Amino acid sequence: MDGVPEWKARAEVWRSFAFVLATSLLALVAHDVAYLTHEYAHSVMAWSLGWMQRPFGIDYGPATVYNILFLGDVSDNVDYTPIFASGHGVAVAVIALSGPFLGNGALYFAVYMLASMPWMSSQRYWLMFLYWLSLMCAANVWSYVPIRAITTHADIALAANGFGISTLVLFPFVMIPSIFITGHFLTRMFPAVYRQIAAGSAVNLAVLIAFTGFWYFSFFGGDGIGGSYGLVSQILSITSRYLLFPLCVAYLSARHMDWARDEG
């Protein structure tokens, strides 16, 4: 770096490395918390309606490295077959929708309110965790609506079947809260916390923006990219990963990178 002492440049590199490491770890922990609240919302709702013996009796899956890190094999362990067979389709719909819209959607707004508390601004690492937890909750909703809404299985398809309607009919009703949450996250949550998290560093802010776009629109937005949820889901996943991901990065950079340059 021109005009910057070598020791200072190295210190800046190490600080940036530490920020990337802390961000990665906090994001992973937040992902797992949001994943579990999603599954527990299903199981607790099923238990409260009398269709499950234990409120937290989810299936944790095998002890593989992937499952320990990302909980990819964890499931709600709700048996929907007897609920359908007994004619309680609305109960199925309520249980199915509780995961994305209670376990994640409602939790997103609770986390946002906590992160907005004045005393939280001085708790940088707690604020970082709350930011990533809010993202994981909001992006979890996105991964179901719109990404895996028009399909034959998963939560939204179960809900539509429970209500006795098609996923196309249900789609606009679940898309409205999903769009609202996404818009709220990008225009309210991110602007509320990025200054404290980036701590005056343009590099930190660039990392925060890149990670935000990746987790929201690529990691979660790409859930249907393999085609296992049908063609519509696959097209939406491709759009989210290869169009909305870079657009998100460009949007946040255009709106907020000037602050980092001014701070620098």
CA dihedral (187, 191, 197, 202) positive or negative: positive
How does the average pLDDT of the chain come out, rounded?
95
Domain ranges of the chain: 6-263
Residue 166 pLDDT: 98
Statement: residue 168 has pLDDT above 80: yes
Residue 6 pLDDT: 74
Statement: residue 50 has pLDDT above 80: yes
Q: What is the rounded average pLDDT of the residues 174-195? A: 98
The alpha carbon of residue 67 and the mean position of all alpha carbons in its chain are separated, in whole angstroms, by 17
Residue 263 pLDDT: 61
What is d(CA 44, CA 255) in angstroms, rounded to the nearest whole number?
40
Q: What is the rounded average pLDDT of the residues 38-61? A: 97
Residue 11 pLDDT: 74
Statement: residue 264 has pLDDT above 80: no
The pLDDT tens digits for 145-163 are 999 999 999 999 999 999 9
The whole-model pTM stands at 0.94
Statement: residue 262 has pLDDT above 70: no
The pLDDT tens digits for 116-134 are 999 998 999 999 999 999 9
The pLDDT tens digits for 9-31 are 677 788 999 999 999 999 999 99
Statement: residue 230 has pLDDT above 60: yes
